[in-house]
Chain A
């Protein structure tokens, strides 16, 4: 079993839809949870990070962490064609120390 599981997609939605991206993980010691966005031919860029359980909102983006279920989500409201990218979850901390583990990434297409 991989430490971090993420559905690679692709996920195709119409413009304006609410997008839900998810990851599950097996290491209960993880404490920091990140979402990265990667456009084609570019490096991953940090979108959001949260510490422990709870929600964090930044504009159209909301990150949720449920440590009891070992499940994290990223919601994108009013999705735009410019949101089309690969979204990677990542986590670190606890017994893994500073080592960051990435999910495989979910490819998202937002159709105009």
Chain B
């Protein structure tokens, strides 16, 4: 069973479109994240939710909107896509307070904006 699963894995779309990436974790964790990894492999946190409450909201354009319907799901919606949004987006989860808040990642969603 996949612990953190996200869909779609690959997404090619045109500038200006709106798209969503979905994420689900079956680890029973209370915290979920969205990370962005650029072409240089640098992982940057975008958002984090703890028990459906937004706890980290880094400097991200407001075209990006996370939604957490429950603590096992965290979706990412992106409006008016731009070329610079092309990257790999990783969903992740952790259990707050355990083992240094060790983070478990999904397989990634490769977004290409053309």
Q: Which residues of A are interface residues toward B (Cβ below 8 A)?
A: 8, 31-34, 36, 38, 41-46, 49, 51, 86, 88, 90, 92-93, 98-100, 102, 104-105, 107
* CB-based contact A99/B56 at 8 Å: yes
Residue of B nearest to A99 (CB): B56
* CB-based contact B99/A49 at 8 Å: yes
Q: How far is the CB of B53 from chain A (nearest CB, A)?
A: 13
Residue B101 at the A interface, CB < 8 A?
A: yes
CA distance A38 to B110 in the complex (A): 15
B4, B42, B92, B99 — most chain A CB neighbours (10 Å) = B42
Q: Assuming A43-B107, A43-B108, A44-B90, is B101 touching A98 (CB within 8 A)?
A: yes
Taking CB atoms, residues of chain A closer than 8 Å to B78 are none
Residues 52-73 (chain B) with a chain A CB within 8 angstroms? 56
A8, A44, A90 — most chain B CB neighbours (10 Å) = A44
Residue B84 at the A interface, CB < 8 A?
A: no
* CB-based contact A92/B90 at 8 Å: no
Taking CB atoms, residues of chain A closer than 8 Å to B108 are 41-43
Q: What per-residue 1/0 map shows which CB atoms of B84-114 lie under 8 Å from chain A?
A: 0000001010101101111111111010000
Taking CB atoms, residues of chain A closer than 8 Å to B42 are 102, 104-105
* CB-based contact A46/B100 at 8 Å: no
Cβ-defined partner of B102 (8 Å) among A34, A38, A102, A105? A34
9 CB-based A-B contacts, threshold 8 Å:
A32-B102, A34-B102, A38-B41, A43-B108, A44-B105, A98-B31, A98-B94, A98-B101, A100-B45
Residue of A nearest to B50 (CB): A98
CA distance A38 to B102 in the complex (A): 15
Taking CB atoms, residues of chain B closer than 8 Å to A32 are 99-102
Taking CB atoms, residues of chain A closer than 8 Å to B104 are 46
